[in-house]
């Protein structure tokens, strides 16, 4: 018997940064995001020889060890090791894990956190643990951000666990996921006008987050984060009302606020790409993750979308095909092929 899982990646429209501690504990944060049909995948196959074998297609790594070994965090698939330890699955007869993702690490689509959610889903199914979506997301967050001390925000784990369009609030001691009830017309029109563009560069978000947190602690970005919170609520309201051109224009303001949080969030290359897109008619846009590279999301009037895409391709970008994904983490059992 095989256990499989997939967790969707996400695009973040607004509020990224307000979910990065310690700001949410002190003032509360909020984000507006949606999951797309790009996924982190995992397969678990039980063994009976006391061995654990993990293969990651994205990192080109394969590691193996005994269930009796003490797992050491050495930079080789530490996310997997931490999940195994947290869920206590070393008391099994062993298993194989095969992991891969539709987006590279550092893409800005929350791929590493989606993989952690998929891992927790696989291992909780293997152990038959009755975890809710909130508990899965919280466990993924604790493993990634606290156990392994990987700096970052809170939104990605909850987006991957719940799926769909969400307005997520981060309060001092808990998280509230508010699903947005959008009509099919709004969802289709939004997708029709949004352009997802891979800039050709990945980034290490931890360095950007570290600089962002330091600037906040020094009191340099408190006002910016408060402005982002206010803008996120306004963008949510515009989306719910179907005022999509207004929503697209506010994406531009979100990007302008975001760049004020750290000088590392944008680069001359990203600035050039964004300027070209705006000159060709894009109403607004932003980098979908912490910044520095990855995917750029652009809101384009339908009659200018193809022209904008062509110009960005000339500059070395790749235009991504995508659709919004309404479901979050999915886990199922399958019989191995003969």
Q: What angle do CA 222, 28, 137 make, to 5 degrees?
A: 125
**What pLDDT, on the 0 to 100 scale, is given for residue 205?**
61
Q: What are phi and psi of 193, to 5 degrees?
A: -100, -15
What stretches in the chain show pLDDT beneath 70?
Answer: 202-206, 337-338
For the chain, domains (ranges, CATH) are 2-181 (3.30.230.10), 184-320 (3.30.70.890)
**What pLDDT, on the 0 to 100 scale, is given for residue 202?**
67
**What pLDDT, on the 0 to 100 scale, is given for residue 13?**
97
**What pLDDT, on the 0 to 100 scale, is given for residue 1?**
86
pLDDT in tens, 198-220: 998 765 565 788 888 899 999 99
**What pLDDT, on the 0 to 100 scale, is given for residue 105?**
75
pLDDT in tens, 142-169: 999 999 998 889 999 999 999 999 999 9
Q: Kindly list the distances between the CA atom of residue 89 and the CA atoms of 55, 153, 186, 219, 271, in Å, as whole numbers in the listed order.
A: 17, 27, 44, 43, 46
**What pLDDT, on the 0 to 100 scale, is given for residue 75?**
86
Q: What angle do CA 58, 64, 69 make, to 5 degrees?
A: 130
**Which class for 110: exposed (0-12), middle (13-18), buried (19 or more C-beta within 10 A)?**
buried
Structural contact between residues 130 and 298, judged by C-beta atoms closer than 8 angstroms: no
Structure tokens at 160: 């991957």
**What pLDDT, on the 0 to 100 scale, is given for residue 204?**
57
CB neighbours (10 Å) of residue 34?
24
Q: What is the 3-state secondary structure (H, E, C) of 172-223?
A: CCCEEEEECCCCHHHHHHHHHHEEEEECCCCCCHHHHHHHHHHHHHCCCCHH
Active-site choice (19, 102, 138, 156): 156
Catalytic, 156? Answer yes
**What pLDDT, on the 0 to 100 scale, is given for residue 206?**
59
Structure tokens at 318: 């790749």
Q: In what order do the strands lie in the sheet with 194-198?
A: 284-287, 295-299, 194-198, 318-320
Strand partners, 29: 170
Task: Name the nearest CA neighbour of 292 among 337, 262, 333, 317.
Answer: 262
Structure tokens at 100: 């891969």
Structural contact between residues 201 and 250, judged by C-beta atoms closer than 8 angstroms: no
| DSSP label of 155 | H
| DSSP label of 77 | S
CA distance 13 to 31: 8
Whole-model pTM over 0.85: yes
| Residue 82 Cα to chain centre, angstroms | 19
Helical H segments across the chain, by residue range:
23-27, 78-86, 111-127, 133-141, 155-162, 184-193, 205-217, 222-240, 244-259, 268-279, 302-314
Structure tokens at 269: 């290359």
């Amino acid at each position: 018997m095989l256990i499989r899982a997939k967790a969707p990646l996400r695009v973040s429209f607004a509020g990224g940064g307000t979910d990065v501690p310690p700001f949410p504990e002190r003032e509360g944060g909020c984000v507006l995001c949606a999951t797309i049909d790009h996924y982190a995948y995992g397969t678990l196959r039980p063994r009976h020889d006391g061995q654990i074998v993990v293969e990651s297609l994205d990192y080109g790594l394969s590691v193996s060890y005994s269930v009796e070994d003490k797992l050491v965090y050495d930079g080789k698939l530490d996310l997997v090791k931490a999940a195994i330890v947290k869920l206590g699955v070393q008391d099994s007869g062993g298993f194989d894990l095969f992991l891969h993702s539709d987006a590279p690490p550092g893409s800005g689509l929350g791929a590493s956190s989606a993989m952690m959610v998929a891992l927790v889903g696989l291992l909780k199914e293997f152990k038959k643990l009755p975890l809710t979506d909130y508990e899965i997301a919280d466990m993924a967050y604790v493993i990634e951000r606290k156990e392994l001390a990987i700096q970052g925000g809170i939104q990605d784990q909850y987006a991957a666990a719940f799926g769909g369009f969400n307005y997520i609030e981060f309060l001092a001691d808990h998280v509230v996921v508010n699903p947005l009830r959008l009509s099919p017309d709004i969802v289709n029109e939004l997708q029709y006008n949004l352009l997802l563009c891979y800039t050709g560069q990945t980034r290490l978000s931890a360095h950007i987050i570290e600089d962002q947190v330091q600037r906040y602690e020094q009191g340099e970005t408190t006002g910016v984060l408060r402005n982002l919170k206010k803008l996120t609520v306004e963008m949510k309201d515009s989306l719910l009302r179907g005022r999509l051109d207004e929503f697209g224009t506010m994406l531009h303001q979100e990007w302008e606020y975001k760049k004020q949080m750290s000088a590392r969030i944008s680069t001359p290359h990203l600035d050039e790409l964004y300027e070209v897109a705006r000159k060709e008619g894009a109403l607004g846009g932003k980098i979908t993750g912490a910044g520095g590279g990855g995917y750029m999301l652009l809101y384009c009037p339908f009659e200018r979308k193809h022209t904008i895409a062509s110009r960005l391709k000339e500059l070395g970008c790749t235009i991504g095909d995508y659709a919004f994904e309404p479901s979050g983490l999915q886990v199922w059992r399958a019989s191995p092929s003969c």
